[in-house]
């Protein structure tokens, strides 16, 4: 029986990963900040799919809480076969003049937690000769959109690098780079995305199905959606100064910016 640990499991892409993994018969370890909501979702998945759901309430920006999740991943008596690092949030502010503690908390979740949880999970997987990690990055990592873009760029390059290190061990590490997706992400971040055209939006169920298919194929970077495959290809071939110019607003007089893709 396969066990998957999913962070950010109560909402958005993380919740959809939990749903689809449970539907295929995986036991789950669900991680999120809201313990009550987490338990309710675990109960729902258990009743519907007859899988075992362990809950682990943890704010991944808190180092002590993060350490508890690391310890769970490293426990040889309860092996985890798949780690999905999906927890994340964005801050709706310009870096200049913004709350630096909010920026730090975002990096703690998007970068530090991803690094430490991947580090905790991989030794057991490599020793068993099977397993994998899916790190939820973003197409924002291909542009120049503030700390969020920088963090997601790190996630993608980190995943590529670590996948090379575990080559030929039976373990795969993949960066999933979604674009704008219908989830709670933008609403919870107070981001106005009402101006975006319909063709930019992805649906979470389709996105996760595509991601799991890419993971089975051994893809190292997954970019679901034809529109985002085209956009990310353009960011690679266009001159970088042009990509920067197209990436967003500049100047302290325009502090509110559109939400980042997720």
Band of the pLDDT at 190, cuts 50, 70, 90?
low
- Return the CATH superfamily for domain 3-246: NAD(P)-binding Rossmann-like Domain (3.40.50.720)
Task: Note the pLDDT of residue 259.
Answer: 53
Task: Based on the residue annotation, tell me whether 148 is a catalytic residue of this protein.
Answer: yes
Interacting residues of 253 by C-beta distance below 8 A, sequence separation 6+: none
Report the chain's terminal Cα–Cα distance, integer Å.
Answer: 31
- Give start and end residues of each alpha helix (H) in 100-225: 100-107, 113-128, 146-165, 185-188, 204-217
Q: Which of 17, 41, 142, 148 is catalytic?
A: 148
pTM of the model: 0.89
Q: What are 88-134's pLDDT values in tens digits?
A: 988 888 888 899 999 999 999 999 999 999 999 999 999 999 999 99
| Chain mean position to CA 138 | 8
Q: What are 75-84's pLDDT values in tens digits?
A: 999 999 999 9
């Amino acid at each position: 029986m396969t066990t998957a640990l999913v962070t950010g499991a109560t909402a958005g892409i993380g919740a959809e990963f939990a749903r689809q993994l449970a539907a295929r018969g995986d036991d789950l370890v669900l991680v999120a900040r809201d313990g009550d909501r987490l338990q309710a979702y675990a109960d729902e998945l258990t009743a519907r799919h007859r899988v075992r759901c362990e809950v682990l309430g943890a704010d991944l920006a808190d180092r002590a809480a993060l350490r508890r999740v690391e310890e769970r991943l490293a426990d040889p008596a309860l092996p985890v076969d798949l780690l999905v690092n999906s927890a994340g949030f964005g801050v709706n502010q310009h870096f200049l003049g913004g709350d630096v503690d909010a920026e730090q908390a975002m990096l703690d979740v998007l970068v530090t937690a991803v690094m430490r949880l991947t580090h905790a999970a991989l030794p057991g997987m490599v020793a068993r000769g099977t397993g994998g990690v899916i790190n939820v990055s973003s197409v924002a990592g291909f542009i120049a959109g503030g700390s969020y873009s920088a963090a997601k760029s790190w996630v993608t390059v980190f995943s590529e690098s670590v996948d090379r290190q575990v080559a030929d061990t039976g373990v795969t590490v993949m960066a999933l780079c979604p674009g704008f997706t219908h989830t709670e992400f933008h609403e919870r971040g107070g981001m106005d995305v009402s101006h975006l055209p319909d063709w930019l939006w992805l649906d979470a169920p389709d996105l996760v199905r595509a991601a799991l298919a890419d993971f089975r194929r051994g893809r190292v970077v997954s970019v679901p959606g034809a529109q985002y495959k085209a956009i990310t290809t353009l960011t690679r071939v266009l001159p970088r100064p042009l990509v920067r110019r197209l990436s967003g607003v500049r100047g302290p007089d325009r502090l509110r910016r559109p939400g980042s893709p997720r």
